[in-house]
Amino acid sequence: MDFIRIGDKLISREKAIRTIDKILSLRVAGFSQQDAADRVGVDRTFVSRLETLAEVRKGGSIAVIGFPLENCTELEEVCDKYGVDYSFLMTDKERWQFIESKSGLALLDFLMELLKELRNFDVVVMIGSDMRVQLAEALLGDTVIGVELGRSPMKHDVNYAPDALIELISNVKGGMV
């Protein structure tokens, strides 16, 4: 065991870590801060402070999907830098290569898996033609924030301003970027 001496107290680092793990497990399981505190034998304020101390970011999970985009690499970097949980961005050429590389059944399977995965996000930013944005809204409902690049069918790549994506992510996170 890993012990730390503080004055006349002997502290077990492993016990502290097990206690923190138990609190977090209870909170993930849906227990209130008070219920988790009562089960572990600490004050509710300790649970609150623990969550604040360990918080990486506020707000829900975010996915960004988009095509046909001219500056995918730059937008991917924005997504990575600002804590987007999932991004799938393509140029028009990449989109067609992707579609043509799959059989009809494989493409349908991919789209169904993608749809299932996107349902796990609190916010899905859909960047694309008016028709693609409307389709995403119909399939995913209120979780979708649509960014229309133009009217369908779009046959050319569009440069979407990275600053606009940063502002959008910031607004979704409540100004926390």
The pLDDT tens digits for 135-162 are 999 999 988 999 999 999 998 999 999 9
Q: How many CA atoms are closer than 13 Å to the CA of 118, on its beta-carbon side?
A: 24
Confidence of residue 51 (pLDDT cuts 50, 70, 90): confident
Model-wide pTM > 0.85: no
pLDDT given for residue 172 in this prediction: 86
Q: Is 77 helix (H, G, I), strand (E, B) or coil?
A: helix
pLDDT given for residue 24 in this prediction: 93
CATH code for the structural domain at 62-172: 3.40.50
Query: CA 173 to CA 62: how far, in whole Å?
Result: 9
95: nearest Cα among 146, 152, 143 = 152
